[in-house]
Structure 1
Amino acid sequence: MAPRTKPVTAALSEVAAARSEPVSAGVRRLRRPLTTAEQIADAVGAMIVEGRLSAGERIGEEKLADFYRVSRGPVRDAFRILEKRRLVEIIPRRGAFVRPVTRDSIADLFNVRNALAGMAAATVARRVAADPGGNVMLKIDRRLDQLRGMAEIADCAPLDYSFQMTRIVYTIIATSGNQLLLEIWSELNDHTFWTAIWKTPQDALTRAERRKRLAQIERGIAAIHSGDPQAAEADTRLWLDLIRDRVLSNLSSSSPSGLR
């Protein structure tokens, strides 16, 4: 790898530690352990999104394998994961090269996801209006109650809080009953750099911020409860767009050269 080998390998050593951090009370992360290839992909992906690896830079397969004390097989698998996430381009007989991640590309990803979530919220609101005495909102309300509890935990981990917000959005989408929308949402998780954005805390960093975000989410879910599709979509998009803006600001300030 070019002169940036040292910061990349340093990041790899932090992956396992990050996965072993305690999870805040009230959150269950039902996740299988990451494979070695996934750990490498996550670490390198975070470096790319945060601007610590430059667009066009070649990522050395042998150096990563030596540092991680694995064969080249898991490193090649990691490159394929990163290629699927649109973070690297694999050129035959030349290696893996960093693809550009720009402010606009990150904003586009958020905008697509937020539009889908708003659409789902409107659909759920219509379901509520059609069956006002039913239990359409049961799972969504349960997720919201869990978030309320987390908002009052002084030392709640920001990543756990963000994970719970994501669970709320996923539950809204699942509750909409739109299977195609759910499949597209899952594809956006698996085939974009979305997960790399959230390898470091980006939102809800303090207790005050968590409470503020909770109030915004409560307003959105109240709109769904009201059975008003237009308000449900608008209010859901509002708090998701605020998270988008916070992440873009964070990445712009943390990138060594500034996110373009």
Structure 2
Amino acid sequence: MSIVDNSQNTKLIVFCRFIDQILKSMNNLRTRTSATSALQNPHAVGRSARSLPTLVAERLLQAILEGRLKPGERLQEIFLADEHAVSRATIREALAQLERGHFVERLPRYGARVAEVDTDDIHELYALRAVLLGLASERAARLANDNELQQFDAAVKALEQEAAAGVDAECYTEHVLKVQEALILMAQGKWINLMYESISNQALWHALVRNKGSAFSSVDRRLASARDWRTLANALVRRDSTASENAARALIHASCQFVLQQYKRDHGVSRDKLDYRT
């Protein structure tokens, strides 16, 4: 079913507002305290200015995440220094920061480039995401309150409706990320959110953001994904922690398999075998 762009944008805005209300409600249920101490302390570390290399690294990372810098694209210091009006030393440090985050890699006799991805990367990243989302789901089934579970169930129902309405892959991806955020919040995990966000940044960069929703690029895939989320939501509402964990792992596994199929179809030959030397 085809939907005009304006209709899709309207649906996305409505859905995101709906999920945002759920997230705000959950946050209000979690705590009533206001974190104002940092604002009241002018010497707080969080109020200090970031370094120039860090600011440049953030600009470059944004370009990578938005697809303006493509995987495998060469990153030459002299051109980047001119573009950002900074020294080559600043660019070198910015690239080193991105290299530590695995967004940039250096090759002998070639220099820095936007990091490539292969099937082993996809397997590993999705396996880690499955473990963390499974843990989050198991905890949410035990720890979330009834109101949170009802709100999550309503969010998944809205996701099902969007998939059935035929929204495009990019729009559906945005919806899924909002639902995942709600689930992670319900887990009440001290480290889960931090670790899942870090790994998701890598996986989404390689598989979702870079290709504008390649994990959900077909109508059938989006419908199957919505069914997977329904299975998870039902298990959470029943407070079946084991079934919730298994459903979350199966959900991520299905996404991984689809992404791998897309990757193999689009590339055919492993990127490791390509020669990027000058």
TM-score by length of 1: 0.69
Aligned twin of 1:79: 95
Q: Does 1:172 align with 2:173?
A: no
Gaps of 5+ in 1: 1-20
1:181-202 per-residue CA deviation (whole Å, 9 max, x = no partner) reads 1121123245x35324222121
Shift of 1:95: 4.2
Structure 1 residues 127 and 220, CA gap change in structure 2 (3 angstroms): same
Counterpart CA distance in 1 for 2:59 and 2:126 is: 28
Aligned twin of 2:122: 106
SS at match of 1:179: coil
Contact 2:137 2:241 in 1 (8 A): yes
| Counterpart selection for 1:185 from 174, 178, 196 | 196
Shift of 1:115: 0.8
Contact 1:213 1:239 in 2 (8 A): yes
Counterpart CA distance in 2 for 1:216 and 1:207 is: 14
TM-score by length of 2: 0.65
Aligned twin of 1:221: 233
| Counterpart selection for 1:42 from 55, 62, 65 | 65
Shift of 1:179: 1.8
Contact 1:41 1:82 in 2 (8 A): no
Q: Aligned residues: percent identity? A: 19
Counterpart CA distance in 2 for 1:239 and 1:46 is: 30
More helix by share: 2
Q: How does 1:9-158 map to 2 (within 5 A)?
A: 22=9, 24-25=11-12, 26-28=14-16, 36-42=59-65, 47-48=70-71, 53=72, 59-63=75-79, 70-71=84-85, 79-80=95-96, 82-89=98-105, 95-97=111-113, 99=115, 101-127=117-143, 134-154=146-166, 156-158=167-169
Aligned alpha-carbon RMSD (Å): 3.6
Shift of 1:243: 0.4
Counterpart CA distance in 1 for 2:214 and 2:142 is: 32
Counterpart CA distance in 2 for 1:214 and 1:251 is: 22
Aligned twin of 1:204: 216
1:53-109 per-residue CA deviation (whole Å, 9 max, x = no partner) reads 2xxx8532345677xx55356966873564243132359xx8424555321122111
Counterpart CA distance in 1 for 2:224 and 2:114 is: 37
Shift of 1:43: 5.5
Gaps of 5+ in 2: 1-7, 21-57, 273-278
Contact 1:203 1:243 in 2 (8 A): yes
SS at match of 1:211: helix
Structure 1 residues 249 and 76, CA gap change in structure 2 (3 angstroms): farther
Read off the aligned partner of 1:60 and give its amino acid letter: Q
Contact 1:27 1:160 in 2 (8 A): no
Counterpart CA distance in 1 for 2:158 and 2:133 is: 20
Aligned twin of 1:5: none
